[in-house]
Amino acid sequence: MWDERKDQNRWQMKFILPEHNEALRQLRLAKQKIERPVLSEEQVEEFEFAIAASINEGLALDFVLYDDGFVREVTGRVVYVDHIRKELRVKDDRGDTNFVKFTNILNVKKNAPSG
Per-residue pLDDT of the chain (115 residues; tens, 9 = 90+): 555 565 556 555 566 677 877 887 777 777 777 888 888 999 999 999 999 998 999 899 999 999 888 889 999 999 999 999 999 999 998 999 999 999 999 999 987 665 4
Q: The domain 41-110: what is its CATH number? A: 2.30.30.520
- Return the H-helix or E-strand segment holding 18: helix 18-32
pTM over 0.85: no
Q: Where are the alpha helices (DSSP H) in 36-81?
A: 41-57
